[in-house]
Amino acid sequence: MKNIKLTIEYDGGRYLGWQRLGDSDKTIQGKIEHILSQIIGTKIEIIGSGRTDAGAHAKGQVANFKTDATVDLAEMLTTLNNQLPRDVVVKKLEEVPERFHARYNAAGKKYSYYVWNEVIPSAFERNYSFHYAEPLDLELMNEACRKLIGTHDFIGFSSLKKTKKSTVRTINELSIQQEAGLLHFTFVGDGFLYKMVRIIMGTLLEIGTGTMKLETIDEVFERKIRSDAGMTVPSQGLFLDEVYYK
């Protein structure tokens, strides 16, 4: 039994997210599974490192599948990319140990979120960033980032309903880089809850405009109530950059 790891890049703009949804062909997982099954000649199900939201993108999504078939990985990679739509690319195929699991073995992830912070929108950035025209206090936002770094219960910064699973996560890095009108937010952590990055982003932007106070972050950690945090920003500015494995 071979275990094959895929590293995948995609523009999620026209998809309903990563996870297969019934017979819909509007998911990344569904697209890749359909073509892999045709290539190998038997039904293939792939396991992703995690879901990405509808409209979100990835530069380094990871998945794996197992097969008994004899496969030439170089030939399969070429065939896959010839048959996949142009907004989905498998960057790498490699055989890994049988026990490797793309989701359970993931030790951390890196996300980026992009904000176009100019009064006038950008024709080129519109599909890959959130146009937010309000002036922002970056010094205050950096202070807010420092409050969010570390190990906390992030349930108040997520859209999760009640869950028995732990909602404690560790953010190792949360930083802001500015390049003219484009702001690049980098998130690195051991894992992220449902819509956690997008809600943290909304909170940071509202703190940056003065709509919310810096102390809001402490209140969300203490009260654990979603409505205390900021808005959920749109998905088109979100990228899964990398998945880390030990």
Among residues 66, 22, 19, the alpha carbon closest in space to that of 44 is found at 66
Helix (H, G, I), strand (E, B) or coil at 197: helix
Distance CA(231)–CA(216), nearest Å, equals: 13
53 counts as catalytic:
yes
**Alpha-carbon distance 62 to 106, whole Å?**
9
Q: Could you give the CA distance from residue 117 to residue 130 in angstroms, rounded to a whole number? A: 8
Catalytic option among 25, 53, 72, 87: 53
| C-alpha distance from residue 26 to each of 19, 62, 121 (Å) | 10, 19, 28
| Distance separating alpha carbons of residues 27 and 155, to the nearest angstrom | 27
User: Which residues are catalytic, by number?
Assistant: 53
